[in-house]
Structure 1
Amino acid sequence: MTPTSQDLWFLPLGGTGEIGMNMNLYGHDGQWLMIDCGVTFPKPGRVSADGTVHHSGEPDTQMPDPRFISERRGQLAGMIITHAHEDHIGAVPYLWERLRCPIYTTRFTAEVLKRKLAERGLLHQVPLHVVSVGERRHIGPFEVEWLALTHSIPDPNALMIRTPLGHIFHTGDWKLDPNPIVGHGYQRDDFVRLGQEGVRAMVCDSTNATVAGHSMSESELHDGLQQWVASATGRVVVTCFGSNIARLVTLAHIAAANGRYLGLLGRSLHNMHQCAQRAGIWPLSAKVVDETHLGYLPPHEVLAVATGSQGEPRTALRRLAAGIHPTMELSAGDRVIFSARAIPGNEEAIGGLIAQLRQQQIDVITAEQSPKPIHASGHPAQQELKQLYQWVQPDIAIPVHGEAEHMRVHAELARHSGAGQALTGRNGDVFMLAPVAGIRRQAVPVGRLGWHKGGLVKVE
């Protein structure tokens, strides 16, 4: 199945009808362009996009089966990574041998990807092209423009993909944050301009399509975090997603304002901090001390950020709770702040971790119980979705990055917000965008691969 010069297709291989392991293809004039190549970390009892319930014993790291495009590797013009979250970037090192195409991304994401490739000995094999916001590149029959949006990680990008048959606006993960703390912001005029130019299809994030209102800005979290740190008498440990550089910068400034030293506990935090420094987006004013110093400082001078906000095993917070962390320990009267919300499926693990901490008379603060906000989502709520549709005014809305209910609500909202029509489907559906809009249901076989004992295995 190959698109002709008269075809413009969208084909999701992962991430549509589910949240995680994003992999999207655009087809035109005999070639394909891949957008994102991510992983997922399944939990027992997960329900896949086709309704299958899966159980324990599966590989911990899973990704879309790229067989459709790997069998047509000569038609793959390139791959674009929109941002550095695992569900968009994490499968690249595992699937590189099957894809072997040029990769395009912006600087911070490139730094994260370089580290991942180096860990698997692939750094010098992969043709990695670093692009800038506002830049345009010709990749096969596609002209691609990188556009700035905001998310919970630095430098996320939307894409305007231009072809003679029509233009596609691919949002990636996004929100409208007027003050994202680090990295680039967004410009309303960029999206109004797209609408004036004409957009055939807008392929858009559905994660929070069922949430009313507007997402919170990262800048709105300062006061809540400051309050909990300022009122603490012992050590303070904050746990959050390691890729949220803006949250780390906020905490570094709060530490300095309260006479505390900020240290990072956990490999992913150190990696992201180093990538932010290399990309030139870590501010010099945000001071971080070597974590080995934390164990020697008076408790009231310690502010540590630890991995483990989802209750994962072998993370820094788990080790602190068990009293086996190599660089510092917690005592009665210390405070642990969860600056994150539970990912569905992780509630039991998080609850057990909180109980373990409280048994030791450690004060635990969660995002749900804090009067002032201490966590913000990285995805658009309904008001932001409406706003972007009103700016871009696409002929066709295609909700992705969500389960069936997210996409259903998103489609309805799009129809009432400026989109001519909405098409909903799932992985393996071919969305025909030109010359006539339509869907060929389950036209392409899809599935999952898992990383198990040093190799890729099929996940049934």
Structure 2
Amino acid sequence: MAAAARATLNKPDELVFLPLGGAGEIGMNLNLYGYGGKWLIVDLGISFPDETQPGIEVIMADPSFAAERKDELAGLIITHAHEDHIGAVAHLWPRLECPIYATPFTASVLRLKLAEAGLLHAVDIIEQPLGSRFPIGPFDIELISLTHSIPEPNALVIRTGAGTVLHTGDWKFDPNPLVGQTSDFAALTRLGEEGVDALVGDSTNALRAGEAGSEADVRESLIELVGRYDNRIAITCFASNVARLQSAAAAGAAHGRQVALVGRSLWRMEQAARENGYLDGTPPFITPEAAAELPRDEVLLICTGSQGEARSALARIAANDHQNITLEAGDTVIFSSRVIPGNERPIGRLQNQLAKRGVTVVTDDEHFVHVSGHPARDELSRMYQLVRPKVALPVHGEARHLIAHAQLAEECQVPQSVVIENGEMVRLAPGPAKVIDQVDTGRLGLDGKSLVALEGGAFKTRLRMTFNGSAVATVVLDRRGKLLALPQITVHGLIGEDAEDTMGLTRAIERAVNGLPAGSKTDDEAVREAARLAIRRSLNNSIGKKPVTEVHVVRV
């Protein structure tokens, strides 16, 4: 499969697109464009695990396909600084070792993350101005400013000798984004007149009618809402939404409250925003330590944890485990964010935990506290009217989002739409667009300090242990296979560990070993397998579980 992919991609006159992450899912974006024997990587992001991935902190697309072609990598360009587009850089860049291109705010965020990982001086970050045009190998790149829920979201115009692609990144058309530039409609119009072979675009809200809405409207609503409540107020939002931080600060100031940031990622974003002039005029935020000393009706907290992340500031506050901040009955938490698909359970747990403490929880079900950063159907239609591509290729969405996006593109008179999943390689130009190959994909998880393959044997064993428990037995025999002592066994997660609970297993092992033919009793592997099967059969018969089982054979 890899050999077929390499042969296809070496055709110098074809432009191909290959998503390794972010097609058929929301998060961990990793896209590649191939042309002229070179590769351009667009974004390198993370997603977050669910309850089926115990012990994993974050997950990301496996970059092996790109890493195996390290010498052919022209570079990595980051469209914007959200975690699902930038969060895997510090983890995966050592496998790629290519230059990184980003606009100033994104570069600032990236430098902070790389410094924490000890990679700041190893990585070549090439900062590009907004709206600039520059080469990356055989790719001629132009940045077009759009709006989103973070400063400096960029659509990429990727021009090659074979054709031109608009890679939208995450975007919407916000007429008043409060922070940063408005969308560059003139550049989009010029691009449409020039001609676009394919639009590779955001599908997150392809099922939602109308428009996403403006940050300016959220600010007015938050100012009014904060005035309704006494005692301590906390607002939780995406840390990267600098306009929302500014709006929360404005809401606090309007009601005589000092505003604190609670959560490391908020302080990181605040630093990057001030370095690039995006919080000019906003007073300095206070620390959690300072907020703890203020009367409860004189402080407003901005906290991480809007998605129920277990290690976030709000989760620790709800568990009464934060070193500085507490919330009590009569306090209020405003969830100024959307629920990312897959995060419903942790968010629900967090909100219930707060409610049990007597804290008032306000979400977008009760009040207007959030607008999405992604285009709804009217905005998607307008984009297609401006750009008029020959092909629509939806990404950044689950299957139903991609299908809805493709259908909308056809309604907008786009001649062709192609719905793909991770690993499907599409020839974009010369057209028509077509899936020409399939490459292996996978996921990596951050497990403590290591990256592990989530499809690999070690993690699969952990999952089996999670659902079926584990058992470890020791069998001591002489050289002829005679048992010298009763087998010893420890079972985790299934039954008690005292002698009475395990005696039945001990006897089952004893019978299995003694029942082996004489020749097999001198074979350690035969003894080990007989004991292993005896344990699993016994537990399956008694409690319906087949644990991960290991047997140590000791010869004396």
Tell me the TM-score normalised to structure 2 length: 0.78
Q: 1:380 aligns with which of 375, 379, 393?
A: 375
| CA apart distance, 1:286 | 4.0
* 8 Å CA contact 2:57, 2:448 repeated in 1: no
Q: 1:425 aligns with which of 420, 429, 450?
A: 420
* 8 Å CA contact 1:425, 1:441 repeated in 2: no
Residue in structure 1 matched with residue 265 of structure 2 by the alignment: 268
Considering only aligned residues, what root-mean-square deviation do their CA atoms show, in Å? Answer: 1.5
- 2:13 maps to 1:16: no
Residue in structure 2 matched with residue 298 of structure 1 by the alignment: 295
**Number of aligned pairs?**
448
* 8 Å CA contact 1:78, 1:101 repeated in 2: yes
Distance 1:445 1:328, change over 3 A: closer
More helix by percentage? 2
Deviations for 1:38-59, whole angstroms, at most 9, x for unmatched residues? 1111213xxxxxxxxxx33363
Other structure's SS at 1:98 match: helix
Residue in structure 2 matched with residue 337 of structure 1 by the alignment: 334
CA distance in 2, matches of 1:98, 1:420: 39
Residue in structure 2 matched with residue 151 of structure 1 by the alignment: 148
Deviations for 1:161-218, whole angstroms, at most 9, x for unmatched residues? 1112211100001111111111222121111110001001100000110111110111
Gaps in structure 1 of 5+ consecutive residues: 45-54
* 8 Å CA contact 1:8, 1:432 repeated in 2: yes
Q: Counterparts of 1:444-459 in structure 2 under 5 Å?
A: 444-459=439-454
Larger radius of gyration: 2
- 2:171 maps to 1:174: yes
Deviations for 1:332-389, whole angstroms, at most 9, x for unmatched residues? 222111111222332232223222222332222111111xx11111111000000000
Letter in 1 for 2:178: I
Other structure's SS at 1:11 match: strand
* 8 Å CA contact 1:428, 1:441 repeated in 2: no
Moved >6 Å (runs of 4+): none
Other structure's SS at 1:194 match: helix
Residue in structure 2 matched with residue 41 of structure 1 by the alignment: 48
Letter in 2 for 1:205: D
* 8 Å CA contact 1:171, 1:203 repeated in 2: yes
CA distance in 1, matches of 2:117, 2:314: 27
Residue in structure 2 matched with residue 284 of structure 1 by the alignment: 281
| CA apart distance, 1:420 | 1.9
- 2:137 maps to 1:140: yes
Tell me the TM-score normalised to structure 1 length: 0.94
* 8 Å CA contact 2:169, 2:201 repeated in 1: yes
CA distance in 2, matches of 1:24, 1:301: 47
Letter in 1 for 2:10: P
Deviations for 1:68-114, whole angstroms, at most 9, x for unmatched residues? 12111111101100011111111111111111111000111111111
Q: Counterparts of 1:45-124 in structure 2 under 5 Å?
A: 55-57=52-54, 59-124=56-121
* 8 Å CA contact 2:75, 2:101 repeated in 1: yes
Residue in structure 2 matched with residue 321 of structure 1 by the alignment: 318
Which structure has more RCO (C-alpha within 8 Å, separation ≥ 6)? 1
CA distance in 2, matches of 1:154, 1:90: 16
- 2:434 maps to 1:439: yes
CA distance in 1, matches of 2:82, 2:223: 27
* 8 Å CA contact 1:394, 1:418 repeated in 2: no
- 2:243 maps to 1:246: yes
Other structure's SS at 1:36 match: strand
Other structure's SS at 2:199 match: strand
Deviations for 1:384-432, whole angstroms, at most 9, x for unmatched residues? 0000000000011100011111111100101121422111111111111
CA distance in 2, matches of 1:382, 1:272: 30
* 8 Å CA contact 2:13, 2:161 repeated in 1: no
Residue in structure 1 matched with residue 400 of structure 2 by the alignment: 405
Q: More displaced, 343-352 or 444-453?
A: 343-352
CA distance in 2, matches of 1:353, 1:433: 44
CA distance in 1, matches of 2:338, 2:172: 17
